[in-house]
Chain A
Amino acid sequence: EAGVAQSPRYKIIEKRQSVAFWCNPISGHATLYWYQQILGQGPKLLIQFQNNGVVDDSQLPKDRFSAERLKGVDSTLKIQPAKLEDSAVYLCASSFGQKLREGWGELFFGEGSRLTVL
């Protein structure tokens, strides 16, 4: 079974430029998550989708970050304009479900996209 695919693996940009990350979750997984992981810290949830709807985007800096999952499958995360403090690894994860009746499912993570903002 194919895992969560992310691209690009690495991206270096200058501040004020824009960048986009792509994620393809495991087939059949309804829930998709984008996490930001700064070096030495735990992942911080940016946005959570259930199919193509947003479940939680309370920690997404909406003035510069946007994300979409138009067809309920793959997703893109965009940063525009980037700031120095956006340097981090952006992790995409998926799970089969997220509702109480579906249990507390395992999150499957991709390898991440490492962003360096100069």
Chain B
Amino acid sequence: TQLLEQSPQFLSIQEGENLTVYCNSSSVFSSLQWYRQEPGEGPVLLVTVVTGGEVKKLKRLTFQFGDARKDSSLHITAAQPGDTGLYLCAGARSSGSARQLTFGSGTQLTVLP
């Protein structure tokens, strides 16, 4: 059972369009990370959000952490073919002094030229 549900699962858009990917959970997370994974490679960290309501921008990517720290969104403006990849959210929770990081189900984005 995935604690983190991502939507949509697949997204295919034309270059220049905008898009939003969602990451939802019934659990509260102390922080949330977004990773991007390309074929044949491991995921690479894009951003970490820690505070409820926090918004971070990375060039054309905007990340938001929900006020209740249960959900997050990733918005891409003017998508480019280089944005193609599997986008993964990962929620962190503490268990004692250890951190548990759980990944979402992923959103496969394809940007067509």
* A104 interface neighbour in B30, B97, B104, Cβ under 8 Å: B30
| Interface range on chain B (Cβ under 8 Å from partner) | 20 to 34
Q: How far is the CA of A40 from the CA of B43 in the complex (A)?
A: 13
Q: Which residues of B contact A43 (CB under 8 A)?
A: 43, 88, 103
Q: Which residues of B contact A35 (CB under 8 A)?
A: 103
Q: How far is the CA of A30 from the CA of B48 in the complex (A)?
A: 20
* A106 interface neighbour in B48, B88, B104, B106, Cβ under 8 Å: B48
CB distance from B22 to the nearest CB of A (A): 14
- CB within 8 Å: A-B pair count: 69
CB distance from A61 to the nearest CB of B (A): 16
* B42 interface neighbour in A4, A98, A100, A106, Cβ under 8 Å: A4
Q: Which residues of B contact A109 (CB under 8 A)?
A: 41-44
Q: Which residues of A contact B42 (CB under 8 A)?
A: 4, 91, 93, 108-112
Q: Which residues of A contact B43 (CB under 8 A)?
A: 43, 91, 107, 109
Q: Is A71 an interface residue (CB 8 A)?
A: no
Q: How far is the CA of A100 from the CA of B30 in the complex (A)?
A: 10
Are A100 and B97 neighbours in the complex by a CB distance under 8 Å?
yes
Q: Which residues of A contact B31 (CB under 8 A)?
A: 104
Q: Is B99 an interface residue (CB 8 A)?
A: yes
Are A41 and B45 neighbours in the complex by a CB distance under 8 Å?
no
Q: How far is the CA of A95 from the CA of B110 in the complex (A)?
A: 29
Chain B contacts with A in 23-70, Cβ cutoff 8 A: 30-31, 33, 35, 40-45, 48, 50
CB distance from A57 to the nearest CB of B (A): 12
Given contacts A35-B103, A43-B88, A100-B99, 14 further A-B contacts (CB under 8 A): A42-B105, A44-B103, A45-B100, A45-B101, A91-B43, A99-B98, A100-B94, A104-B30, A104-B92, A106-B33, A107-B35, A108-B42, A110-B42, A112-B42
Please give the residue numbers on chain B whose beta carbons come within 8 Å of chain A beta carbons, in ascending order. 2, 4, 6, 30-31, 33, 35, 40-45, 48, 50, 88, 90, 92, 94-95, 97-106, 108
